[in-house]
A and B are shown apart, each in its own frame.
Chain A
Amino acid sequence: MCLLKKINALEPLWWSLFGAGGMVAAFLLPAHIFIQGIAIPLGWVSPDMFNYSSLIGIVGNPIVKIYLFFMIILPLYHAAHRIRLTLEDLRIEWLNHILPLIFYGGATGLTVVTLIVLIRI
């Protein structure tokens, strides 16, 4: 319960991460999803970059690593905050009070995973 209180007290931090994630989702994701998730698999474009040996080199660049880090973790915090508040509005009583722990904890866990993966590449 003490941990939950501490998580709740960090509301300005969660909201700021939510806002930053919303910016990433609005400004950066549409182009990435369109090219990487739709245009390339459908064969509309076939850039040289998307093969193992080129990608390993590009992702090895520290600037690309920092870009990818924020492009992954900020949308996660964005979604964690939104889903938590939406579920509260749907009033699942027994679940509501542990929602912050589940979602912010989950996003923080995946942040650690992202960090480790990026460092190891």
Chain B
Amino acid sequence: MGEEITLNITRYNPDKDGKYTTQRYSIPYKNDWSILDALNYVKAELDGSLTYRWSCRMAVCGSCGMMVNGTPRLTCSTYLNEFYPKEITIEPLANFPVIRDLVVDINDFMAKLKSAKPWIIRKNKRDEDDTSKEYLQTTGQMDKYYQQTLCINCTLCYAACPVYGLHPDFLGPAVIALGHRYNKDSRDEGKADRREVLASEHGVWKCTVVGDCTEVCPKHVDPSAAIQRTKVDSAINWFFSFLTGRK
């Protein structure tokens, strides 16, 4: 027998007993295994009913996010050797309803994402259909939003955000960061369209800058800074429209 490591995995099956419990599994310890490799081992060798999401295994698809020892992580790029010989607790992402075992319901996030209109909006709608038209951009203009384009919608930031957990209506880090990304794009003209969502009472003003969204982001999107910059922009716009009486 080689070395072993213990995993404490959350189990929940509404179709069976509907109990939300933790199950312990002892598996062989391999130095180069990710948490996802370990879960695949459990499913293949020990318990075929274990349910979780994964796809790309290379931190691009954003589907394998789980709470690893209480912190939201992508399990494909979190390795057993970070924890060995200690036990590892694997839970579904915090702040989301659990569908089964390690799978959470992110419909709320998807609906909010759409509401922030994360796409290029042109005032002249014909621009959007005209595929022959080119929009040139300098590298300096691209720098203003590039960091936020790296978001993979993994929702780790939502699991890290206590404000989202406490106030489920809050738009949340990734959605605001992506709204900010298009607001800062020189080709975009949709800032006013996004404002009523981003600067609403459930938008940027709900954020109290805990900052954990930025800490857990596997792509270094820095949603926290994006939210604060959107606050600055919204406040300037508010004073401007207050002084000029324009909406």
Contact = CB atoms under 8 A, between A and B. Distances in A.
B201 A89 contact: no
B165 to A, nearest CB: 10
Nearest to B208: A85
B231 A89 contact: no
A11 B201 contact: yes
A8 interface: yes
Given A11-B205, A86-B208, A91 B238 contact: no
Interface in B83-142: none
A91 B201 contact: no
Interface in B134-175: 162-163, 166-167
Contacts, number: 25
Contacts of B205: 11-12, 15
A89 B234 contact: no
B239 A16 contact: yes
A98 interface: no
B201 A8 contact: yes
Given A11-B205, A85-B208, A16 B235 contact: yes
A95 interface: no
Interface in A70-111: 85-86, 88-89, 91
B208 A15 contact: no
A89 B162 contact: yes
A86 B167 CA distance: 12
A38 interface: no
B208 to A, nearest CB: 5
A90 to B, nearest CB: 9
A15 B231 contact: yes
A5 B231 CA distance: 20
Contacts of B239: 12, 16
Q: At the interface, is chain A mostly helix, strand, loop or mixed?
A: helix
Contacts of A91: 166
A13 interface: yes
A13 B243 CA distance: 13
Contacts of A16: 235, 239
B234 A12 contact: yes
B238 A13 contact: yes
Contacts of A88: 166-167
Interface in A1-33: 8, 11-13, 15-16, 19
Contact of A15 (B162, B167, B235): B235
B235 A89 contact: no
25 contacts: A8-B201, A11-B201, A11-B205, A12-B199, A12-B205, A12-B234, A12-B235, A12-B238, A12-B239, A13-B238, A15-B205, A15-B231, A15-B235, A16-B235, A16-B239, A19-B235, A85-B208, A86-B208, A88-B166, A88-B167, A89-B162, A89-B163, A89-B166, A89-B208, A91-B166
Given A89-B162, A89-B163, 12 more contacts: A11-B201, A15-B231, A15-B235, A16-B235, A16-B239, A19-B235, A85-B208, A86-B208, A88-B167, A89-B166, A89-B208, A91-B166
Interface of A: 8, 11-13, 15-16, 19, 85-86, 88-89, 91
